[in-house]
Structure 1
Amino acid sequence: MASNAAVPFWRSAGMTYITYSNLCANLVRQCLKEPYKSEALNREKVHFSVSQWVDGKPQKPSN
Protein backbone atom coordinates (compact mmCIF):
# COMPACT_ATOMS: atom_id res chain seq x y z
CA MET A 1 0.00 0.00 0.00
CA ALA A 2 1.36 3.43 -0.92
CA SER A 3 2.15 6.05 1.67
CA ASN A 4 0.36 9.41 1.71
CA ALA A 5 3.75 11.15 1.98
CA ALA A 6 4.24 10.85 -1.79
CA VAL A 7 0.86 12.45 -2.59
CA PRO A 8 1.15 16.02 -3.89
CA PHE A 9 -0.41 18.59 -1.57
CA TRP A 10 -2.97 19.68 -4.19
CA ARG A 11 -4.19 16.08 -4.42
CA SER A 12 -4.40 15.71 -0.63
CA ALA A 13 -6.42 18.97 -0.58
CA GLY A 14 -8.96 17.34 -2.90
CA MET A 15 -8.02 19.34 -6.02
CA THR A 16 -7.13 18.21 -9.51
CA TYR A 17 -3.92 19.45 -11.09
CA ILE A 18 -5.91 21.59 -13.54
CA THR A 19 -7.78 23.29 -10.66
CA TYR A 20 -4.50 23.90 -8.83
CA SER A 21 -2.85 25.23 -11.99
CA ASN A 22 -5.75 27.60 -12.71
CA LEU A 23 -5.71 28.88 -9.13
CA CYS A 24 -1.96 29.61 -9.32
CA ALA A 25 -2.31 31.30 -12.72
CA ASN A 26 -5.09 33.56 -11.41
CA LEU A 27 -2.99 34.54 -8.39
CA VAL A 28 -0.03 35.42 -10.61
CA ARG A 29 -2.24 37.50 -12.94
CA GLN A 30 -3.64 39.44 -9.97
CA CYS A 31 -0.11 40.23 -8.73
CA LEU A 32 1.07 41.80 -11.99
CA LYS A 33 1.43 45.57 -12.36
CA GLU A 34 -0.24 47.55 -15.13
CA PRO A 35 -0.15 47.34 -18.15
CA TYR A 36 0.86 43.66 -17.84
CA LYS A 37 -2.09 42.86 -15.58
CA SER A 38 -4.75 44.05 -18.04
CA GLU A 39 -2.97 42.29 -20.94
CA ALA A 40 -2.88 39.01 -19.01
CA LEU A 41 -6.54 39.31 -17.99
CA ASN A 42 -7.52 39.94 -21.63
CA ARG A 43 -5.68 36.78 -22.74
CA GLU A 44 -7.64 34.82 -20.13
CA LYS A 45 -10.93 35.32 -22.02
CA VAL A 46 -11.98 32.42 -24.21
CA HIS A 47 -14.68 32.48 -26.88
CA PHE A 48 -16.17 29.32 -28.35
CA SER A 49 -19.34 28.07 -29.97
CA VAL A 50 -21.13 24.75 -29.68
CA SER A 51 -22.78 23.05 -32.64
CA GLN A 52 -25.11 20.10 -32.70
CA TRP A 53 -24.26 17.50 -35.33
CA VAL A 54 -27.11 15.73 -37.12
CA ASP A 55 -26.48 13.12 -39.82
CA GLY A 56 -22.80 14.05 -39.98
CA LYS A 57 -23.43 17.77 -40.61
CA PRO A 58 -23.16 20.62 -38.10
CA GLN A 59 -26.30 22.60 -37.33
CA LYS A 60 -26.38 26.35 -36.68
CA PRO A 61 -23.96 27.13 -33.81
CA SER A 62 -25.21 28.55 -30.52
CA ASN A 63 -23.25 30.67 -28.07
Structure 2
Amino acid sequence: MASNAAVPFWRAAGMTYISYSNICASLVRNCLKEPHKTQSISREKVHFSISKWADGKAQNPNSCVSLAYLII
Protein backbone atom coordinates (compact mmCIF):
# COMPACT_ATOMS: atom_id res chain seq x y z
CA MET A 1 0.00 0.00 0.00
CA ALA A 2 1.62 3.23 -1.13
CA SER A 3 1.44 6.29 1.03
CA ASN A 4 0.98 9.84 -0.24
CA ALA A 5 2.68 11.27 2.84
CA ALA A 6 5.62 13.56 2.29
CA VAL A 7 9.02 11.93 2.70
CA PRO A 8 11.66 13.95 4.55
CA PHE A 9 14.10 15.40 2.03
CA TRP A 10 17.12 13.85 3.77
CA ARG A 11 15.58 10.40 3.32
CA ALA A 12 14.64 11.16 -0.30
CA ALA A 13 18.30 12.13 -0.87
CA GLY A 14 19.39 8.71 0.44
CA MET A 15 20.86 10.03 3.70
CA THR A 16 20.40 8.90 7.27
CA TYR A 17 19.19 11.35 9.88
CA ILE A 18 22.56 11.17 11.65
CA SER A 19 24.47 12.20 8.51
CA TYR A 20 21.94 14.97 7.86
CA SER A 21 22.25 16.30 11.41
CA ASN A 22 26.08 16.15 11.22
CA ILE A 23 26.03 18.26 8.05
CA CYS A 24 23.65 20.78 9.64
CA ALA A 25 25.78 21.01 12.79
CA SER A 26 28.92 21.54 10.72
CA LEU A 27 27.26 24.34 8.77
CA VAL A 28 26.13 26.06 11.97
CA ARG A 29 29.62 25.75 13.50
CA ASN A 30 31.19 27.31 10.41
CA CYS A 31 28.78 30.27 10.54
CA LEU A 32 29.75 31.26 14.09
CA LYS A 33 32.06 34.18 14.81
CA GLU A 34 35.32 33.82 16.71
CA PRO A 35 35.99 32.73 19.48
CA HIS A 36 32.77 30.68 19.49
CA LYS A 37 33.68 29.02 16.19
CA THR A 38 36.96 27.49 17.43
CA GLN A 39 35.33 26.44 20.71
CA SER A 40 32.49 24.64 18.96
CA ILE A 41 34.79 22.97 16.42
CA SER A 42 36.99 21.64 19.22
CA ARG A 43 33.93 20.09 20.90
CA GLU A 44 32.94 18.08 17.84
CA LYS A 45 35.81 15.62 18.39
CA VAL A 46 35.06 12.34 20.13
CA HIS A 47 37.59 10.70 22.46
CA PHE A 48 37.37 7.07 23.53
CA SER A 49 39.56 4.14 24.46
CA ILE A 50 39.23 0.46 23.60
CA SER A 51 39.69 -2.26 26.21
CA LYS A 52 39.53 -6.02 25.81
CA TRP A 53 37.69 -7.90 28.53
CA ALA A 54 38.79 -11.23 29.99
CA ASP A 55 37.28 -13.03 32.97
CA GLY A 56 34.93 -10.11 33.65
CA LYS A 57 37.77 -7.57 33.99
CA ALA A 58 38.98 -4.92 31.60
CA GLN A 59 42.53 -5.40 30.38
CA ASN A 60 44.90 -2.50 29.66
CA PRO A 61 43.10 -0.01 27.42
CA ASN A 62 44.60 0.96 24.09
CA SER A 63 45.62 4.54 23.60
CA CYS A 64 42.88 7.13 23.43
CA VAL A 65 41.53 7.55 19.92
CA SER A 66 40.35 10.90 18.66
CA LEU A 67 37.81 11.09 15.88
CA ALA A 68 35.97 13.89 14.17
CA TYR A 69 32.57 13.33 12.62
CA LEU A 70 32.85 12.26 9.04
CA ILE A 71 30.66 13.95 6.48
CA ILE A 72 30.14 11.81 3.44
Q: Shared topology, TM-score over 0.5? A: yes
SS at match of 1:14: coil
* Runs of 5+ unmatched residues, structure 2: 64-72
* Runs of 5+ unmatched residues, structure 1: none
Question: CA separation in 1, counterparts of 2:4 and 2:11?
Answer: 10
1:6 is displaced (CA, Å) by: 2.1
When you count strand as a share of all residues, which structure comes out higher? 2
State yes or no: 1:29 paired with 2:23.
no
Question: CA separation in 1, counterparts of 2:60 and 2:15?
Answer: 36
SS at match of 1:21: helix
**Pairs aligned (count):** 63
Q: Under a length normalisation based on structure 1, what TM-score does the superposition of the two structures give?
A: 0.87
After alignment, is 2-11 or 35-44 more displaced? 2-11
Q: How much identity, in percent, do the aligned residues show?
A: 71
Q: Under a length normalisation based on structure 2, what TM-score does the superposition of the two structures give?
A: 0.77
**Does the C-alpha gap of structure 1 residues 23 and 4 become closer, same or farther in structure 2, counting only changes over 3 Å?**
farther
When you count helix as a share of all residues, which structure comes out higher? 1
